[in-house]
A and B are shown apart, each in its own frame.
Chain A
């Protein structure tokens, strides 16, 4: 059946009228903060306590926007006669957000979980040089990093938790075994002692 002449025009009017009754999609940004999805790529935060200055992030960065300086420190041996240990100490960690293309490779590649995505995005500057943010600023952004999203139902347990649980289970089993052994040892030694104890308790109650 051919369409009724003018039905297209009426349909157009209906569309605009229906849109008028719906909620608008305008984001009133400076007045109302946007609701960002989880894993938003706003800025990169540095958890510097975890950083070992392995330089993997700086080497993998496609546009070379990560600056890392460090020096080596030696710590005295833990036990007398032991060997001195050396470790790297972070002096400078800076990301030039004027160069960064928010690919997130540095975060993926970090083996020590020292870099994180934060949804924070309001760090515009009036001078491009001020977009190079140093470690104190990057550390501050760590406070805005959201909790990792919950696992899917039925997902495999994270490795860390599995390992921790294994250790805990092992410890508990050992404790139980020891307690069991102790009880058995006590029962084998003297049931008489036990009985006299119980009698004394009853007397005390009366």
Chain B
């Protein structure tokens, strides 16, 4: 009975985090982007500085008609948003935010493998949407998504492999237990590669060619309306949370901090995740979209060699220490 209660409680908490934190990031994006452009952003919804803007958006999306194009592959089309969103929920389940046993949804021994594999599934949602929409722009968007996934999954995996080598384990809590402060400069290149590749995999600007609205309308999401469209947007923000959380855990030492690690470790995790989410928004505001070929060039000629160099460095230092 106690086990059932424990599992239920963990699931409820993870689900609550999954529903709330992406909205917080979305609201932060509204406000940060606005102020970086000299604007105020939403000011009315909810009364105080538009804090309820995304709630209002959600209500609006829920009221809209759910249209499925006549020629669309109906079932795939309707399933795609769920495929895009659910993997991030599963990843959040595996991210540890504190040192104790209770601060992670589910300890998974092969944590890195699980997390990266499931994150890759999320991109399948866009692919399914692009293929099933029976729309040329959607198809182009879907294919761009596929090309991007192929190009950026590799440097991401290599960068994560470097950390796994350094820690000697693929379990996420295990990596954090082995973390020392000097890993930060040691793995900095890997961290950058991981973060940039993650941005590309989430299709966040400046890597948002699959949804490039000035070229292909909205890519794979062109035909979506109402709640299903909202789910895709939610998936993007959940993806930001997951990417920032993973970068924090793998490269920035998660709950480790200058002080208060025992009681307040989860604060450190959340703080680092929040700062990274800010950086994600900051990059979006600052940089224009890359061209499709520039995107591929960046992945194959810059990120992958850097990731390989990081692995070599990790190996050399590891051997030297032992």
Q: Is A161 an interface residue (CB 8 A)?
A: no
Q: Is A126 an interface residue (CB 8 A)?
A: no
Chain B residue nearest in CB terms to A23? B38
A-side contacts of B28, CB under 8 Å: none
Contact B287 A9 (CB under 8 A): yes
B-side contacts of A77, CB under 8 Å: none
Which A5-44 residues sit within 8 Å CB-CB of chain B? 9, 12-13, 15-17, 19-20, 22, 24-26, 28
Q: Name 10 A/B residue pairs within 8 A (Cβ), A-sorted.
A: A9-B287, A12-B286, A15-B286, A16-B36, A16-B286, A17-B36, A19-B35, A20-B32, A26-B39, A28-B40
A-side contacts of B37, CB under 8 Å: 19
Please tell me which one of the listed residues B36, B40, B43, B287 contacts residue A19 in the complex, with CB atoms under 8 A apart: B36
The count of chain B contact residues (Cβ–Cβ below 8 Å) is 14
Please tell me which one of the listed residues B39, B282, B286, B287 contacts residue A25 in the complex, with CB atoms under 8 A apart: B39
* Nearest CB of A to B191, in Å: 16
Contact A13 B38 (CB under 8 A): no
Q: Is B86 an interface residue (CB 8 A)?
A: no
A-side contacts of B38, CB under 8 Å: 19, 22, 24-26
B-side contacts of A22, CB under 8 Å: 38
A-side contacts of B285, CB under 8 Å: 16
A-side contacts of B39, CB under 8 Å: 24-26
**Residue among A9, A22, A25, A26 facing the most chain B CB atoms (10 A cut-off):** A26
* Nearest CB of A to B138, in Å: 31
Q: Is B34 an interface residue (CB 8 A)?
A: yes
Q: Which 4 A-B pairs have the closest CB atoms?
A: A26-B40, A16-B36, A12-B286, A20-B35
B residues neighboring A (CB under 8 Å): 32, 34-40, 43, 282-283, 285-287
Q: A24-B34, A24-B35 are in contact. Are A16 and B40 (CB under 8 A)?
A: no
Which A41-87 residues sit within 8 Å CB-CB of chain B? none
Complexed CA–CA distance, A17 and B34 (Å): 12
* Nearest CB of B to A30, in Å: 11
Please tell me which one of the listed residues B34, B43, B282 contacts residue A13 in the complex, with CB atoms under 8 A apart: B282
A-side contacts of B287, CB under 8 Å: 9, 12
Contact A16 B282 (CB under 8 A): yes
Complexed CA–CA distance, A90 and B32 (Å): 59
B-side contacts of A9, CB under 8 Å: 287
B-side contacts of A24, CB under 8 Å: 34-35, 38-40
Complexed CA–CA distance, A19 and B39 (Å): 10
Complexed CA–CA distance, A25 and B35 (Å): 9
Chain A residue nearest in CB terms to B39? A26
Q: A9-B287, A13-B282, A13-B286 are in contact. Are A20 and B40 (CB under 8 A)?
A: no
A-side contacts of B36, CB under 8 Å: 16-17, 19-20
* Nearest CB of B to A107, in Å: 35
A-side contacts of B286, CB under 8 Å: 12-13, 15-16
Chain B residue nearest in CB terms to A26? B40
Complexed CA–CA distance, A178 and B34 (Å): 76
* Nearest CB of B to A112, in Å: 46
Complexed CA–CA distance, A71 and B43 (Å): 55
Chain A residue nearest in CB terms to B31? A20
* Nearest CB of A to B212, in Å: 19
Complexed CA–CA distance, A96 and B161 (Å): 75
Chain B residue nearest in CB terms to A13? B286
Which A78-136 residues sit within 8 Å CB-CB of chain B? none
Contact A17 B282 (CB under 8 A): yes
A-side contacts of B35, CB under 8 Å: 19-20, 24
Complexed CA–CA distance, A25 and B282 (Å): 19
* Nearest CB of B to A13, in Å: 5
Chain B residue nearest in CB terms to A25? B38
B-side contacts of A15, CB under 8 Å: 286
Chain B residue nearest in CB terms to A9? B287
Complexed CA–CA distance, A13 and B285 (Å): 9
B-side contacts of A17, CB under 8 Å: 36, 282
A-side contacts of B34, CB under 8 Å: 24
B-side contacts of A26, CB under 8 Å: 38-40
Chain A residue nearest in CB terms to B32? A20
Chain A residue nearest in CB terms to B285? A16
Chain B residue nearest in CB terms to A11? B286
Complexed CA–CA distance, A12 and B35 (Å): 15
B-side contacts of A16, CB under 8 Å: 36, 282, 285-286
* Nearest CB of B to A68, in Å: 45
Complexed CA–CA distance, A22 and B282 (Å): 16
* Nearest CB of A to B280, in Å: 13
